[in-house]
């Protein structure tokens, strides 16, 4: 079972604590099974739920960016699908 951390309960992404292979199934408490859709290197993030284009990505219970395309549960989250929300959203 690959290791990962969900920093705050309200986060919609998790951080991997080891390299996770594509196709791996990870369990998020109870029976909530999540299939990992991409390679997730150590320290990188994956989505815990579907995040639609334009929705915020939440880590540390804070906004860390906004999605630039629809992100599926289990997808790798990085510079290819989210961007800084700083000037548009965070600073308001």
Partner 1 sequence: MKEEFMGYQRPKGSVGIRNKIVILPSVVCVNNVAIQVANKIENGIALPHPLGCGQFGPDFNFTSKTLSGLAINPNVYGVVVIGLGCENITSKLLARQVKRAKKPVEFFDVQDVRGGTIAAIEKGVKFAQKMSKAARELKREPFDFSHLVLGLECGGSDSISGITANPAVGVVSDRIIEMGGTSILPEFTEWIGTEHLLIQRAIDKNVEEKIRSPLDKFLENTMKIGIDFRGVQPTPGNIVGGLTTIEEKSLGTIAKAGKAPIQGVLEYSEAPKEKGLWLMIEPGLDVESMTGLAAAGAQIIIMTTGRGSPAGNPVSPVIKICGNPKSCDYMRCNIDVDASSIITEDKTISDVVETLWNKVKATCNGEQTQAEVLGFNDIAIWRAMNFPFSALKI
Query: Which residues contact partner 1 (rule: CB under 8 A)?
Result: 3, 5, 7, 15, 17-18, 41-45, 59-60, 62-65, 77-79, 82-87, 90-91
Least distance between partner 1 and beta carbon 10 (Å)? 14
Spatial CA neighbour of 72 closest among 30, 22, 29: 22
Sheet holding 45-47, edge to edge: 4-5, 13-16, 45-47, 76-77
Contact, 34 vs 74, CB < 8 A?
yes
Output 36 or 44, the one with its CB closest to partner 1: 44
Output 5 or 9, the one with its CB closest to partner 1: 5
């Amino acid at each position: 079972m690959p290791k990962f951390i969900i920093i705050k309960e309200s986060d919609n992404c998790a951080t991997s604590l080891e390299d996770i292979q594509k196709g791996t199934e990870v369990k998020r408490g109870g029976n909530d099974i999540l299939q990992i859709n991409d390679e997730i290197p150590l320290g990188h993030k994956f989505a815990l739920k579907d995040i639609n284009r334009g929705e915020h990505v939440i880590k540390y219970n804070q906004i860390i960016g906004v999605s630039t395309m629809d992100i599926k549960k289990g997808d790798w989250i990085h510079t290819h699908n989210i961007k800084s929300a700083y000037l548009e959203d965070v600073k308001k």
